[in-house]
Chains A and B, each alone.
Chain A
């Protein structure tokens, strides 16, 4: 069974940057669509963005609130997916989940917590 493990969360000041990582032993990321989903405290799920598998073009798309600030990338040598988050705002606070699946999120990590606060 595929397992996803997120890391890199923490406390950051507004305007700062953070990079989250997602590792999956046994899953070849180049063959998978990977998405990041977040959940603000006490709120619902919000799709953040996605990177397609290489054979589907490897392209990325983002939700409007993060477009231009967040960048999803993949390192095939380490089998890791990243989300680089810049110009962070307090409303970016929440749990960030790494998921895999073509359009639907069929495997989820346990999440990593990001807190944006002064």
Chain B
């Protein structure tokens, strides 16, 4: 079984340019998370989906970040325009059901974004 697949693995863009990250969760996992991990820090939650509904986007900077999960499967996270401070690793995770105590998360390998 394939794990959580993210692409691209690396992305370098100039500031003010747009960028998008893609995540394909494990088949059947209805809960999907996007986290941002700054250098030397732990992951920080950006948004959580249950199926196609964003049930917690309180930490998503909505002025420049957007996300979607059409049909409740794949998800895309977009930044427009990117700023230097957006340089980080963007991690996608998925779980079967929303109860982390039961299911835990499975993480993808992440997309490392560098804004220059």
Are A and B co-members of a single complex? no
> A residues engaging B (CB < 8 A)?
none
